[in-house]
Amino acid sequence: RAAVWLAISLGGIAILAFLVRCMHLLNPDHFYILSADSYFFHWVAQGVMAGDPPAVPPGSDSTYLLHSGLAYPLAYLAEAVSYVFGLSSEDALASVSKFLPPVLGLVSTGVLYLGAAKACDRRVGLFAALSWAVMYAAIFVGAAGYIDRDGLSVVLITIGALIFYLSKNW
C-alpha cells in the first residue's frame, strides 16, 4: 500500500516537474531557446546534422568545438528523432531542443529524490523532489529552454554527491 502511494506521488511530481518546465513553450511569441550559449549549441548541432561542423574561429585553439555543451548529443538525438518519426532535420532539432531541457530537469528531480531518500527517508526525498520540481531557479535558470551545461551539470553534481554519500558505506 505504501509503495502504491509512493509511486503515485513520484509520478505526480514527475508530471508536475515536466509540465512546469514546459510552460514557457505555451507562449507563441516566445522562442524556445533562452540563452545566448544555447543559440551557439543549436547552431553547432545544425552543422553537425548537416555534416559540416562549424570551423574553428581565427585565434581560437583546436579545442573550441569540444566545449560545445550538449550540441553533439543534441544533434545525434535530433537525427534519431528525425529517423524514427520521419521529421525534417530542422523540425527534429527544434523538437529535441524544446524537450531536452525539461527532460533533464525531470531526471534531476528523480535523482534528487533518490539521493535524499537514501540519505534520509522517503518523506524527505519526496519533499526534496517536490521542492526541486517547483523551484523558480531550477525551472527558469536551469531547465526551461537552456540547451547548455546547466541542466546536465545539476544531474551530474547530484549523482556525484549521491555516489560520495554511498561510498562512505564501502
pLDDT digits (tens, 9 = 90+) for 95-137: 988 888 888 888 888 988 988 898 888 999 999 999 988 887 7
Dihedral sign of CA atoms 150, 153, 159, 165 in order: negative
- Decide which of 6 and 20 is more confident: 6
Q: Cβ distance 130 to 18 under 8 Å? A: no
Q: Cβ distance 6 to 122 under 8 Å? A: yes
pLDDT band at 7 (very low <50, low <70, confident <90, very high): very high
The backbone region for 86, taken as left when phi is positive above 0, alpha when psi lies in -120 to 50, beta otherwise, is: left
Check residue 78 and give its pLDDT: 94
pLDDT digits (tens, 9 = 90+) for 29-79: 767 777 777 777 888 888 888 887 666 666 666 555 555 667 888 889 999
Query: Which cell numbers in the block locate residue 160?
Result: 556525484
Is this prediction's pTM over 0.75? yes
Check residue 27 and give its pLDDT: 74
Residue 92 has pLDDT above 90, yes or no: yes
The backbone region for 121, taken as left when phi is positive above 0, alpha when psi lies in -120 to 50, beta otherwise, is: beta
Check residue 81 and give its pLDDT: 94
